[in-house]
Amino acid sequence: MPTTVSKDFRLTESHIRQEDVVQLVTPAGARVANPTFDPWVDDVGADQLASFYEDMVLVRRIDTEATALQRQGELGLWPPLLGQEAAQIGSARALRSDDFAFTSYREHAVAWCRGVALPDLLRMWRGTAASGWNPYDVNVAAPAIIIGAQTLHATGYALGCRKDGVDTVAIAYFGDGATSEGDVNEAMVFAASFQAPVVFFCENNQWAISEPVGVQARNHIADRAPGFGIPSLRVDGNDVLAVHAATRVALERARSGGGPTFIEAVTYRMGPHTTSDDPTRYRDPDELATWQGRDPIARIGLLLEGLDVDVEALDRAVNAKADETARALRAGCVALAAPEPLSVFDNVFTGPHSWLDRQRSQYAAYLAQFDEEA
């Protein structure tokens, strides 16, 4: 992998053309030569591919288990990532541990790759906490449910990194629908203006709940960034290797003072928007079938086979791990207990607050009444 982005490496118009969507591995598992991007993954051998594969299988299992936990009433809601494993893992695995990710609600695999503990993935969905982890422990911000808001946070964080004189990079994850929000566009304006070391990583999973991407954009999503002065790449989001290469390029550009880059990972939301959603109301089942043929996990399996890896053995090991992970997830989930009532007042402010402290005391007195009665 190159350590610098050569001066000659320019993200050209062709990178953002449909025809030129970056793909290094076909759905059939064949490795496609690409002189521009191959050098960026020349260090990615069979072992690392196998570990991507493992991560993808594990998060898919986590996802399935979480969906089951929701169905069983253990979670209030779950937004499945099914189908987007490659986009999330290919990119997150390219990050350095000091890089900082600002995600939306669906990036469970990003959180996983960053080291978020299993039950922490579920806290906010179980409703026992507003968010699952301390952002500074894993360098992943609290997930943003307000669509697009996090892109500005990533830009601000990146600006801070520049001021600190470090080569840490911020990456913002968001969806195709998010690109319509003012905030995402303002983030591009600010990132370009301040040349902030930020990567805009758009998972275009073709849908924003029930709205196909065509409602948001008539062009490719990746076409938008260049007008803001931000180079962009369109990449096969179901190809973990291509995503990995593209993210490395973008990160390296940012680290070396090249400013922001925009990546559109073309992928597909194979499941419902969330466990509350019913895609049969709006989605043609054939479309799903087409995309199932482009499954991100299957193709790496085939690629590994082509590389003479014993995929059956790998599968056995990985599936065992997945079973264990699912068990741990479930156990962790049901163990997540509701916090005590008065904690509702915690962390509104960083210190004393005359109004809120009084309200808290009043409520404590009110609650104590019941204890007395009992």
Partner 1 sequence: MLQTTTRQLTLAQAINSALRRALQDDDKVLLLGEDIGKLGGVFRVTDGLQADFGSDRVMDAPLAESGIIGTAVGLAYRGYRTVCEIQFDGFIYPGFDQIVAQVAKLHYRTQGAVKMPITLRVPFGGGIGAVEHHSESPEAYFAHTAGLRVVSPSNPQDAHTMLRAAIASDDPVLFFEPKRRYWAKGPVDEDAPGDIEHAAVVTAGTDVTLVTYGALVGVARDAAAAAAEDGVSIEVIDLRSLSPIDFDTVERSVRKTGRLVISHEAQQFAGLGAEIAASVTERCFDYLDHAPVRVTGFDTPYPPSALEEYFLPDLDRMLDGVDRALRKPNSLTDWTANA
Site string for a second copy, 206-225 (x = CB under 8 A): ---------xxxxx---xxx
Burial classification of residue 74, based on how many CB atoms lie within 10 Å of its CB (0-12 exposed, 13-18 middle, 19 or more buried)? middle
Residue from 15, 273, 294, 330 carrying the catalytic annotation:
273
Active site residue 273: yes
Going by C-alpha positions, the residue among 148, 157, 141, 154 that lies closest to residue 184 is 148
To partner 1, the closest distance from the beta carbon of 172 in angstroms equals 9
Residues paired with 173 in a beta bridge: 201
C-alpha 249/C-alpha 259 separation (Å) is 12
Question: Is residue 167 close enough to count as binding partner 1 by CB under 8 A?
Answer: no
C-alpha 279/C-alpha 269 separation (Å) is 10
How would DSSP label each residue in 243-256? HHHHHHHHHHHHHT
Question: Is residue 301 close enough to count as binding Mg ion by CB under 5 A?
Answer: no
Active site residue 363: no
Asked if 56 and 240 count as a contact pair (C-beta separation under 8 A), the reply is yes
| Closer of 76 and 212 to Mg ion (Cβ) | 212
Site string for a second copy, 170-209 (x = CB under 8 A): ---------xxxxx-xx--x--xx----------------
To ligand TPP, the closest distance from the beta carbon of 126 in angstroms equals 19
Q: Tally Cβ neighbours within 10 Å of residue 81.
A: 28
Q: 211 is written with which tokens?
A: 């709205």
116-135: b or e for each residue (b if 16 or more CB lie within 10 Å)?
bebbbbbbbbbebeeebbee
Q: 166 is written with which tokens?
A: 């470090």
Site string for ligand TPP, 81-120 (x = CB under 6 A): -------------------------x--------------
State the number of binding residues for ligand TPP (CB under 6 A). Answer: 15
How would DSSP label each residue in 313-330? HHHHHHHHHHHHHHHHHH
Helix extents (H) in 165-239: 182-194, 213-216, 224-227
Residues 223-262 that bind a second copy (CB under 8 A): 223-229
Question: Is residue 176 close enough to count as binding Mg ion by CB under 5 A?
Answer: yes
- For ligand TPP, the binding residue among 28, 30, 130, 145 (CB under 6 A) is 145
250: left (phi over 0), alpha (psi -120 to 50) or beta: alpha
Site string for ligand TPP, 155-174 (x = CB under 6 A): -------------------x
Residue from 282, 316, 353, 358 carrying the catalytic annotation:
282
Residue from 269, 294, 299, 330 carrying the catalytic annotation:
269
Which of the listed partners (a second copy, Mg ion, partner 1, none) does 228 bind, with a CB threshold of 5 to 8 Å by partner kind? a second copy
- List of residues contacting ligand TPP (CB under 6 A): 106, 145-147, 174-178, 205, 207-209, 269, 273
Give catalytic residues, as residue numbers. 269, 273, 282
- List of residues contacting a second copy (CB under 8 A): 179-183, 185-186, 189, 192-193, 215-219, 223-229
- List of residues contacting Mg ion (CB under 5 A): 175-176, 205, 208
